[in-house]
Every structure is written in structure tokens, then in C-alpha cells.
Amino acid sequence: MKIVVLDGHTVNPGDLSWDSLKSLGDCTIYERTSPEQVLERAKEAEVILTNKVVITAEHIAALPQLKYIGVLATGYNIIDLGAAKEYSIIVTNIPAYSTPSVGQMVFAHILNITQQVQHYSDEVHNGRWTNSADFCFWDTPLIELLGKKIGLIRLGQTGYNTARIALGFGMKVWAYTTKSRLQLPPEIKKMELDQIFRECDIVSLHCPLTEETKELVNAKRLAMMKPNAILINTGRGQLINEQDLADALNNKKIYAAGVDVLSTEPPKADNPLLTARNCFITPHIAWATTASRERLMGIMIANLKAFIAGKPENNVVK
């Protein structure tokens, strides 16, 4: 079986092993693949594995040996599923592998914003504490989380995990969710979307990107938020209208934002969030802890073995 990994560097830049995958067939691993290189590199492949390289209908039609596409991520919008179905190609994804790590990143951003650890560490190393007239100093608000309201937009696995962490800090957890009140534990309160934006101290996005959720966060909803509110996004960059968020931050309509995703990745140099006030940005790494990537690769192997056995798992082609 001919296996081609199109962008292996993303999930395994060298700290993990491909040996389990290599044991399943003739395996070629490319660090990165441009759109123009896809057909040449995959021309004999029965199995393609991809993290971010797009597989179009044209690719699928031109690859007669192809039987299986494994997406090395949870989201699978990079694959033309209609074409895959037409050509009877199995497409699998990797669900829930990064749930603990994403919740951790949500609170890494929240704690960075509320405690400003990096800011104060930099100030101390620059000599400010050494030269201080007092035993301590601070020049930003220091915000306690106990009793604060956090609003979670959708309550899938990452939302639930984030809720559990928030409860550990003594926060009040509200959620906008399709689940009924009877399906929720008593410590999580179901709320309408706009109520969450109006009343919560922190709003955290955990919804997929769809036509309905694109630019869910826009000038209208940002205007509803408290001036001391914090917005967190570890979902998808296009959930937010970035110019509207930059304007809200720069005009002090909300206090701060912590985002791990942007609408274009890597971002363009003129992305307004890069220069916005109190906007803290990490480079889409919530999923990328070593433990998370080890789980991803384990599920990748399990998915492929199930396909070989004729019993596909995590097949997203309906």
C-alpha cells in the first residue's frame, strides 16, 4: 500500500516517530507540499494523509489509485467531501485529540490577561523591582477569577473541558448550546447568545466555523460587551470580524482579547489585530502539545488500521 504524507512537519517536526505508520505500507513523508505539488507527489498513492494541504475535486478525479484520505486534524473542510463520496473514497478525521490542551490554552490566555505574568517578569528583569521604592509594584489591573462569569459559545468536548477548568477557579459558567437544560449539569447555566455577550466577564469561542458562525463576533456583539470584558478564541479565526475586534480594543470598548487563531494563517502583515491594544496572539498552537500530537498520531494509526481491516472509523463522508 502506497502512503503519502503531504505535510508531516506540522504534526511531527521531528520529536515523534513515524515508525508505526511506516509499518503499514510504502510510506513517503513530505515536510510541506504546495498546491502545485499535490498531484505529482500523490499520483500513485492509495492513502493520502494531510493536515492543512487542501485536496480538491480536481485532485481526487486525477488520482485513480486513491482510496483513503486521512485528515490529521479534527476539522475536515480542506477536503472536497462531495468528490470523495462520488469516487467512493473514505475520509477520516481525528476527533477530540486536543481537548485537554485547548482548555489549557484558553486559561493560559485568561491568566496572561488577568495576571500579566510575562509583563511583570520582563519588568523585573529590566531592573524595575530592583529600583523600586516599595516592596512590590503593579501597573495593570490584577483580576481575580473567583465569581466571574465565563460564557462558552457552544459546549462540545472542548467547551465542557473548559467549563470544568473554570469551575475549578470558582467561576460561574454560562453556555450557549443546543443541549437542553436537562442535559446540562446544574453548575452550567444555559443562556441565549446575546445575553452571554452582554453579561459575561469572559466570552470563549468553542464553535465550528459554518456559514451561521462566520463573523459571529462583530461590531454589534462587541458593543454589547462590558468595557472590562475579555474575549478568547481558540476555535477558528473567521469566527471574528478582526477589524471590528481591533476597533473595539483600540477604543476601549472591551478590555482585552486572547486569540490562538486568525482568519489567515500565517497572518498578513496588515492584520489589524497585530497592532491592536491588549490583543494577545499565539500562533495556532493550542492543539500542539506533545501529548496532544501523540494522541493525534495514535488515532491516525488506528483509523488507518480500521480502514485496512474494512471497518472504517471516524469516516466523515456521509
Is 284 marked active-site? yes
Rg (CA), the chain: 22
Distance, CA of 243 to CA of 268 (rounded, Å) = 13
Residue in 221, 284, 293, 295 annotated catalytic: 284
DSSP state, residue 66: -
Is 265 marked active-site? yes
Residue in 221, 236, 293, 295 annotated catalytic: 236
Is 46 marked active-site? no
Please return the burial class of 76, using the count of CB atoms within 10 Å of its CB with bins 0-12, 13-18 and 19+. buried
Q: Quick one: which of 96, 56, 87, 84 has its CA closest to 317?
A: 84
Q: Which residue's entry shows cell 486521512?
A: 70
Structure-block grid coordinates of residue 119 = 509583563
At 298, give phi and psi (nearest 5°).
-65, -45
Query: What is the residue type of 242?
Result: E
Half-sphere exposure of 51 (CA within 13 A, CB side): 18
Alpha helices in 53-98 (DSSP H): 57-61, 81-86
- Write the DSSP string, 102-138: HHHHHHHHHHHHHH-HHHHHHHHHTTTTTT-SSS---
Residue in 44, 144, 192, 265 annotated catalytic: 265
H or E stretch at 185: none
User: Could you give the residue numbers annotated as active site?
Assistant: 236, 265, 284
